[in-house]
A and B are shown apart, each in its own frame.
Chain A
């Protein structure tokens, strides 16, 4: 336990020091180096705990009498700690390279180790109040990191949306913990509050609306950390409270399944429609969280039916996918950071031909997207396969088989749409010819960034590859965790012998392709090998602008799904005999935002209009109001008792 605490302390010290030091390169070294060291220091005991399946608890002296500060690490916490610390170490190395000569971005560097420490503390906290405190620190630290470039209006708006969303979530969680401690309130209500609170942080539909706003606004390393580690704490929360709420009725699992299916399908669909590289990846995170939620819902349904196989496959698949998504989404965002760093734009339609100029980054991006689509022979397939197997087992149930069937179709459709989405990204930005001149730089000058920028990328993708070939190593600790989640499970979760067969098939696939490629190269390719212009049907002047753009690639699917997407088009038709200008723009706004949150918040704003008259605009008035409210609450608590 002491090692965990020392890692937290190291992170906090690094945060404080990087705030105090003003010299640029030393600040960068202390901040990023502190993150790397602290994460590695915490990673080692987490791996040990995970493999040994042990449990440690430590109570710290608490500053508030009556409330304890208990930290504990069991297999579930250790599982998430490995993900958090592992990704933080990678992003620490990456940031060290990224922040070179970027004094503007260094201002919020102190919050980086603070965020890592807060995430780790959330996963280690054992009682409600401590959990909420760490949760709040995590949310605030990430808010400050998201609004690093707050001189841009978009970033400020995104920051506000994120702040409101995360505080709404926290308020639901506060009610949840209070009700739980009072042991009052029905378990159904508790479950709902937990799902809303943790689901907002995780990014489950329809509470995901902050994700696609906040991720593009944040610097790339922070987007990687948020998407890879922070939203997983929402999943951790749901998994942690499941044993506390007793035997689940069927509709709990069903609700999570439905929300998961919606998140997966709609996340993939909206991802396809984006032209901003980071928003596309943010929606893809929503899709993967949907798959994880489906796994959790499946596990809950298995618990209701006392079906050991389905429970372990559901929870196990969800946990496995947590790790896979952390690794792969982290790699994708870091790769995006390199692209943005080199080309100064996030718009896919302004890119093109980057694979030849950024070969390592492009290849890693390609492999990571391959894995994230769930395609063999990589790790993404294995976790989706486990969930599929659970769903297939669920199709044998008498009545709830429809959830299982809907689940399989949901993952299949989401998989198809996300395949379209990633082929779009890679095809339009990395392949083909460059579409626009890069501002301030000729295209020919693009080059790979420093070693710090792509080493973490290579490292993460390699881990993904290895997990795909040796999935048994991940499944064994997961079985322990699933056993803890539902102690009423009689017997051990299945060993899934087919996993090693899958691993060997993947290894065989890679070996066969490698052998065929070698054979091909040596024996067949030595013939005359000409280069020519792309076949252009005899056009005299083919240009890069003739290539497919990202919106044209997504056009057939956008027409097919237009009743869900409701795209808004701005069309200026060519007019007159010699038309000069014409323009076409299509925008797809998030359904939940459009139909649910905007009207809701609009109604709130209108109904609270009367309070607007009380707004004075001076900070003294606001401080006075806060003070009065606190005193009133204190009086109410002491006199009337709660």
Chain B
């Protein structure tokens, strides 16, 4: 149907073209807090174009894993994006697709870690080890959050979880478990996308090594693809978080509102990053456990308060 193909085009263009913009918004917000003017809003796009024109440098220790990883990571995150609805049904949806969503992100993590180990350096090894640890622990909260959403919306598809299957919204945003879930997903977003206070996205030092250190040996278009993939992952997590607080509805207008809410959330992330210092590495598992407890509280409230 015509509206289907139009909505597909809108979905794809929003998915493919807008993620770097949110990186720019976050950077502008942080600059504002720092009293600077900051880079232009579209700087990430300029960076990507610049990187695409450069050449490659490959480590002598590496094998085909390092060469194939960027494309595989990008493909997994792209397919996760195809599963996520943006104001209308996702291009790919079926009951139980939330598991595929989570595991596609897991596939991206697998290859990120492997490519990091491929270069035979202790820096990347450090990042790989930490990524594996925090990934395993944050999966728990992520799945618990998704379970609570599934119980609340009586659906096991992302299309239903984000609220598109019910007419007037599956739940009211003032329900306490919704707020707890929102906090859960924000913390997961910060962990998975290497934002403060978990990890500093701006530096590549030993102190701040989780995600940024794993990409030390990428160069040129490979680095561009990795950065783009990271922005795409951030975009997906942001959509998920926003949809918890404001369940999506159908229509192009809804997509527009979603975009504005995402801008608001990006500014919010910029604020969080500016007012928080990076945590000591020992404290990060504690944050992840606290996140799990918050999600467990959300579960308890959902089950006990009822109404679902």
Which positions in A face B, CB cutoff 8 Å?
Answer: 352-353, 355-356, 366, 370, 373-376, 381, 384-385, 388-389, 392-393, 395-396, 401, 405, 408-409, 412-413, 415-417, 419-420, 423-424, 426-428, 431-433, 498, 501-502, 505, 508-509, 512-513, 516-517, 520, 524-525, 527-537, 542, 544, 546-548, 552-557, 560
Which residue of chain B is the closest to A356 with respect to CB atoms?
A: B63
Question: What are 25 A-B pairs with beta-carbon distances under 8 A?
Answer: A353-B120, A375-B106, A376-B107, A393-B156, A395-B150, A396-B154, A412-B102, A412-B140, A416-B136, A419-B106, A419-B136, A423-B132, A427-B113, A427-B114, A428-B117, A498-B94, A501-B92, A532-B58, A533-B59, A534-B121, A535-B119, A535-B216, A547-B125, A553-B128, A557-B136
Which residue of chain B is the closest to A269 with respect to CB atoms?
A: B136
Minimum-distance CB pairs A-B, first 6: A548-B125, A427-B117, A416-B136, A432-B120, A420-B132, A528-B55
Decide: B221 and A524 in contact? CB cutoff 8 A. Answer: yes
Listed stretches B35-43, B68-76, B173-181; interface member? B68-76
A536 to chain B, nearest CB (A): 7
Decide: B129 and A556 in contact? CB cutoff 8 A. Answer: yes
Known: A433-B61, A527-B56, A553-B132. A375 touches B151 (CB 8 A): no
The CA of A366 and the CA of B72, in the complex, are separated in Å by 14
Across the interface, B72 reaches (CB within 8 A) one of A415, A513, A548, namely A513
Decide: A413 and B139 in contact? CB cutoff 8 A. Answer: yes
B20 to chain A, nearest CB (A): 19
The CA of A534 and the CA of B61, in the complex, are separated in Å by 7
A38 to chain B, nearest CB (A): 38
B14 to chain A, nearest CB (A): 19
Point out the residues of chain B lying under 8 angstroms from A419, CB to CB: 106, 109-110, 132, 135-136
- Cβ of B251 within 8 Å of any chain A Cβ, yes or no, is no
Decide: B285 and A432 in contact? CB cutoff 8 A. Answer: no
Which residue of chain B is the closest to A416 with respect to CB atoms?
A: B136
A159 to chain B, nearest CB (A): 34
Point out the residues of chain A lying under 8 angstroms from B12, CB to CB: none
Point out the residues of chain B lying under 8 angstroms from A542, CB to CB: 121
Known: A405-B147, A408-B147. A531 touches B103 (CB 8 A): no
Name B60-91 residues within 8 Å CB distance of A: 60-65, 68, 71-72, 74-76, 78-79
Which residue of chain B is the closest to A498 with respect to CB atoms?
A: B94
B130 to chain A, nearest CB (A): 6
Point out the residues of chain A lying under 8 angstroms from B102, CB to CB: 412
- Cβ of B45 within 8 Å of any chain A Cβ, yes or no, is no
Point out the residues of chain B lying under 8 angstroms from A374, CB to CB: 103
Known: A375-B106, A525-B56. A513 touches B71 (CB 8 A): yes
Point out the residues of chain B lying under 8 angstroms from A423, CB to CB: 110, 113-114, 117, 128, 132
Known: A544-B120, A557-B133. A534 touches B60 (CB 8 A): yes
B176 to chain A, nearest CB (A): 19
Question: Which of A385, A432, A509, A533 has the largest number of chain B CB atoms within 10 A?
Answer: A432
B78 to chain A, nearest CB (A): 7
Point out the residues of chain B lying under 8 angstroms from A533, CB to CB: 59-60
- Cβ of B220 within 8 Å of any chain A Cβ, yes or no, is yes
Decide: B95 and A498 in contact? CB cutoff 8 A. Answer: yes
Name B150-178 residues within 8 Å CB distance of A: 150-151, 154, 156
Decide: A548 and B122 in contact? CB cutoff 8 A. Answer: yes
Across the interface, A376 reaches (CB within 8 A) one of B100, B132, B144, B150, namely B100
The CA of A373 and the CA of B114, in the complex, are separated in Å by 14
Decide: B59 and A389 in contact? CB cutoff 8 A. Answer: no
Decide: A535 and B78 in contact? CB cutoff 8 A. Answer: no
Known: A381-B103, A553-B125. A527 touches B136 (CB 8 A): no
For chain B, the bracket of interface size reads 35 or more
A365 to chain B, nearest CB (A): 12
Apart from A353-B120, A501-B92, A553-B128, 19 more pairs, CB < 8 Å: A355-B63, A375-B106, A376-B76, A376-B107, A412-B140, A415-B139, A419-B132, A426-B117, A427-B116, A427-B128, A431-B65, A513-B71, A528-B56, A548-B117, A554-B129, A555-B129, A556-B130, A556-B133, A557-B136
Decide: B110 and A370 in contact? CB cutoff 8 A. Answer: yes
Known: A431-B120, A524-B52, A530-B56. A388 touches B96 (CB 8 A): yes
- Cβ of B143 within 8 Å of any chain A Cβ, yes or no, is yes
Across the interface, A534 reaches (CB within 8 A) one of B56, B72, B217, namely B217
Question: Which of A426, A428, A548 has the largest number of chain B CB atoms within 10 A?
Answer: A548
A521 to chain B, nearest CB (A): 9
B276 to chain A, nearest CB (A): 22
A438 to chain B, nearest CB (A): 17
- Cβ of B99 within 8 Å of any chain A Cβ, yes or no, is yes
Decide: B122 and A547 in contact? CB cutoff 8 A. Answer: yes
Which residue of chain A is the closest to B156 with respect to CB atoms?
A: A392
The CA of A433 and the CA of B59, in the complex, are separated in Å by 11
B120 to chain A, nearest CB (A): 3
The CA of A531 and the CA of B216, in the complex, are separated in Å by 15
- Cβ of B137 within 8 Å of any chain A Cβ, yes or no, is yes
Name B161-215 residues within 8 Å CB distance of A: none
A369 to chain B, nearest CB (A): 9
Decide: B143 and A412 in contact? CB cutoff 8 A. Answer: yes
The CA of A409 and the CA of B128, in the complex, are separated in Å by 23
- Cβ of B232 within 8 Å of any chain A Cβ, yes or no, is no
Point out the residues of chain A lying under 8 angstroms from B235, CB to CB: none
